[in-house]
């Protein structure tokens, strides 16, 4: 005689109550892997089968059957429980499901379901329930995924209606992934929700071709191990579109940081600021790769690829901060990270061998003049100009403050002016701003060196290409050269401390 429903160990309810997310998710709930392993164990399985089905036939609950369920078929068994046909596990066991013939077990086609389940109603339930135990795991070392319409992704929180970011190429929402469904690379810090599930940014692309281009770029930079370059988690396609998954930056982007905080001239803050600025240059140098060919792209015989970002701006520099640092000064533990490779180009030809480079329009304010001058090709030092714009805006914030930066940004104009369709010059207003920074009493030696570097090496209109003669023209610096200079400035500031401009000039 079977036990009454009150006496049955209610594994069904335990599974049902453990599905996530808890709030309304339009039926898109799943059982996390960690919870599956917790609920489907030898003791719970044996007790459920005994009290629900085989109390008078305990011999049917063999150690081999229990081991098969726990080790080979936990998802299958959980699905059968929810479908109301857990005793069918015996038939699947005898058919050797979950061993050599089928791995992984789920999803099962109707013909295979019916081999183990006789009741047609239970077959229909099985068909629906099996997807709740098949949420994918985003694995280290894997980047691309394709999901079908039935698959349920392992997101546990979705606050996109509260905290979202809209960009030119995609819409970014804030979500969390269940901790047992993501393998976090060593050294990668991720903020977590109240249940210790990592927060992520899910970027839905507007256009499939843009997604394909960005996926190619991101797949390449996955090889980098640089704390100032975003480490993508995944790219997936599903019926709803094309999506990228990244770590979520709780502090927003660099522009958010600048507009929401007031800088100070304390030595600790300045050391942090220059270490981060140097880190951005070092990251850009790694993206650009070969320092011998960076000014004019790679050797025509080379098979090595190098990446030009193409859209560097404060909005595309994220600010990551460890949760333990949030009660300290606003900059404590903050790391600046280059992101958004939607316009990135992977290059394998030298500039002189390429026709005039065509690219989607980057953010106009930070674009280099060669994008608008007739017949000019775009090399990797296009990014160096953009970095110079960012550096100068950062210096304005440091010395002159937020209001002066807002005035400087009025009109959203570029940092250069066109003389004609083939020639450009740096905007005189930029030069005036640099002079104002240098002469300000709050300008320390490190900031003056930064402004001088921007003036003389980064915001330089002339760009060297392979087919130009060696002449006396001063060309824009490579990211590698900028990185070397910035590391020196940051190192000197850390070793020598804060020095006013007058002290530097007197040395």
CATH code at 426?
1.10.510.10
User: pLDDT averaged over the chain?
Assistant: 83
pLDDT recorded at residue 467:
54
| 445 and 486 within one domain | yes
| 97 and 66 within one domain | yes
| 465 and 324 within one domain | yes
What is the spatial distance between Cα 97 and Cα 63, in angstroms, rounded to a whole number? 17
| 178 and 46 within one domain | no
The total number of structural domains in the chain stands at 3
| 409 and 295 within one domain | yes
| 269 and 360 within one domain | yes
pLDDT recorded at residue 471:
60
**430 occurs within a structural domain:** yes
Stretches where the chain sits below pLDDT 50 are: 1-8, 99-104, 161-163, 291-305, 344, 346-362, 502-507
CA 123, chain centre distance (Å): 41
| 305 and 238 within one domain | no
| 394 and 265 within one domain | yes
DSSP state of 426: E
pLDDT recorded at residue 98:
55
**37 occurs within a structural domain:** yes
pLDDT recorded at residue 282:
96
CATH code at 150?
3.30.200.20
| 108 and 231 within one domain | no
**238 occurs within a structural domain:** yes
Token pair 């533990």: residue: 333
Which of the listed residues 213, 247, 281 is the one where a domain comes to its end?
Answer: 247
pTM above 0.85, yes or no: no
| 229 and 263 within one domain | no
Which of the listed residues 106, 133, 160 is the one where a domain comes to its end?
Answer: 133
**139 occurs within a structural domain:** no
| 401 and 261 within one domain | yes
Task: Please report the DSSP string for 129-159 in residue order.
Answer: HGGGG----B-TT--EEE--TT----EEEE-
| 454 and 310 within one domain | yes
Report the candidate in 219, 207, 178, 278 with the shortest Cα–Cα distance to residue 480: 278
Which domain, by its residues, includes 197?
144-247
pLDDT digits (tens, 9 = 90+) for 30-74: 999 999 999 999 999 999 999 999 988 989 999 999 999 999 899
Which of the listed residues 247, 276, 294 is the one where a domain comes to its end?
Answer: 247
**6 occurs within a structural domain:** no
């Amino acid at each position: 005689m079977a036990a009454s429903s009150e006496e049955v160990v209610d594994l069904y309810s335990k599974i049902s109550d453990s599905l996530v997310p808890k709030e309304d998710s339009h039926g898109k709930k799943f059982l996390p892997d960690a919870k599956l392993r917790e609920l489907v164990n030898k003791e719970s399985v044996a007790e459920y089968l005994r009290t629900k089905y085989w109390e008078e036939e305990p011999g049917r609950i063999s150690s081999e059957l229990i081991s098969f369920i726990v080790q080979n078929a936990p998802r299958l068994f959980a699905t059968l429980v929810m479908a109301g046909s857990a005793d069918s596990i015996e038939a699947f066991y005898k058919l050797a499901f979950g061993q050599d013939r089928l791995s992984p077990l789920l999803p099962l086609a109707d013909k295979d379901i019916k081999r183990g389940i006789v009741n047609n109603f239970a077959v229909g339930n099985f068909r629906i329930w099996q997807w709740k135990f098949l949420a994918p795991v985003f694995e280290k070392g894997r980047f691309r995924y394709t999901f079908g319409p039935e698959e349920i992704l392992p997101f546990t929180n979705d606050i996109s209606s509260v905290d979202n970011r809209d960009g030119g190429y995609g819409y970014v929402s804030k979500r969390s992934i269940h901790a047992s469904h993501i393998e976090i690379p060593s050294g990668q810090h991720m903020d977590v929700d109240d249940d210790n599930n990592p927060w992520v940014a899910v970027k839905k692309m507007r256009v499939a071709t843009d997604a394909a281009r960005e996926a190619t770029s991101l797949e390449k930079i996955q090889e980098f191990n640089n704390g100032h370059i975003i480490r993508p988690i995944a790219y997936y396609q599903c019926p709803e579109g094309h999506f990228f998954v990244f770590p979520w930056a709780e502090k927003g982007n660099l522009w958010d940081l600048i507009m929401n905080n007031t800088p100070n001239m304390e030595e600790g803050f300045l050391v942090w600021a220059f270490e981060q600025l140097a880190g951005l240059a070092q990251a850009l140098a790694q993206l650009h790769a070969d320092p011998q060919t960076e000014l004019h792209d790679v050797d025509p015989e080379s098979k090595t690829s190098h990446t030009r970002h193409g859209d560097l701006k404060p909005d595309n520099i994220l600010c990551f901060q460890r949760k333990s640092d949030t009660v300290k000064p606003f900059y404590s533990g903050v790391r600046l990270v280059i992101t958004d490779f939607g316009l990135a180009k992977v290059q394998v030809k030298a500039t002189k061998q390429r026709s005039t480079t065509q690219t989607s329009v980057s953010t106009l304010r930070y674009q280099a003049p060669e994008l608008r001058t007739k017949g000019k090709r775009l090399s990797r030092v296009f990014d160096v100009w953009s970095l110079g714009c960012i550096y100068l805006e950062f210096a304005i914030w440091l010395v002159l403050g937020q209001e002066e930066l807002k005035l400087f940004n009025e009109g959203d104009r570029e940092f250069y002016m066109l003389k004609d369709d083939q020639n450009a010059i740096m905007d005189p207003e930029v030069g005036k701003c640099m002079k104002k920074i240098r002469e300000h009493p709050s300008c320390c030696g490190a900031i003056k060196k930064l402004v001088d570097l921007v003036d003389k090496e980064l915001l330089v209109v002339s760009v060297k290409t392979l087919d130009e003669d060696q002449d006396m023209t001063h060309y824009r610096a490579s990211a590698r050269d900028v990185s070397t200079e910035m590391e020196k400035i940051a190192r000197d500031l850390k070793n020598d401390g804060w020095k006013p401009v007058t002290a530097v000039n007197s040395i």
